[in-house]
Chains A and B, each alone.
Chain A
Amino acid sequence: MIYGLCILLFLIGLYAVVTKHNLIKIVIGFIIMENAINLFLIMLGYRMGGKAPIIWQDAAGKADIAAFANSAVDPLPQALVLTSIVISLGVTALMVAICLRVYQRYGTFDISKIRRLKG
């Protein structure tokens, strides 16, 4: 159920990328796809009743590593998703730059009106 909604979100983004005519709508669909995949990876590492993977010291300045390792959520997907989010920002900037250049050249965002993409 909970994974199904996440996959549904990914497919909504895919639908926008495939069917929409507007370049900005395609970028929006792409962002939704990226976020859905990130959320799916985070969900795979979630432990029920878990804690954030950051060790806190108690009042005596000690840290209980064994209890931490038994209760924290998975740090590995979080680390990979963290890099993926920043990459998605760079890729979005690149896509928007391409869209703006296409707009400058053809005066529209509508890809069905842009017949000469080879330019």
Chain B
Amino acid sequence: MNVETITIIFLAFIVIGSLIAIETPNLLSAVVCLGVVDIGFTILFLLLKAPDIAITQMVVEVVCLIILIRATVNRDKSADTGERKLFGLMTTGAIIIILFMFIMNVVPLFGEFGNPIFTRVENAPSQTYLSKCLEDTGAANAVSAVILDYRGYDTLGEATILFASVIGAIALLRKKPRKKINEPDESDSLSVVKDE
């Protein structure tokens, strides 16, 4: 079996898993299904010769899973109570199918699987990175060289985004929102809206 066949098999497995994760009524089992799907992604990254990404995806997925389980455990786990009307569901399905057809028309532009563009173009950046990375930076890992040397600006922006999102999460999770001392307590306006 070549890589393409194995990749298709794993992708089909991932598609089924994600359908289950989305459609199952129990939230906790949905989160567990997401974990299975992410492990499938990890194996695929390993198959497609991306060991850096496989390691990162594995640990990130574990932390993500813990956070999601933390969010769903001890909550009301029954997920979908009020189903959307049939008309809206069919409209959404039709739009998604049309979107799928549009994207599939564009896909041949990317070339066939296993024959990437950078091998056919003269002086592609990736060719330079591969052939010069040991000489320019001394790093044997080309991915590391690209992240921290050739494209350091990307990493700087990434660190900024991570910093901003973490600050946002901390501001949300702080014990009490900051307010002025004499401001009246707003606990009345925070009451739970009952289902009518």
Contacts and interface: CB of A to CB of B under 8 A. Distances in A.
Does A pair with B? yes
Interface of A: 1-9, 11-16, 18-22, 24-25, 27-29, 31-32, 35, 38-39, 42-57, 63, 65-66, 68-69, 72-76, 78-83, 85-94, 96-101, 103, 105-110, 112-116, 119
A97 to B, nearest CB: 4
Given A32-B22, A47-B119, A87-B158, 7 more contacts: A5-B12, A21-B82, A53-B141, A55-B141, A63-B140, A75-B129, A92-B64
Contact of A76 (B71, B72, B129): B129
A76 B19 CA distance: 31
Interface of B: 2-4, 7-8, 11-12, 14-15, 18-19, 21-22, 27, 30-31, 34, 37-38, 41, 44-45, 48-53, 56-57, 60, 63-64, 67-68, 70-72, 75-76, 79-82, 84, 88-89, 92-93, 96, 99-100, 103-104, 107, 110, 113-119, 125-127, 129-131, 133-135, 140-143, 145-147, 151, 154-155, 158, 161-162, 165-166, 168-169, 172-173, 189-190, 192-193, 195
A8 B17 CA distance: 13
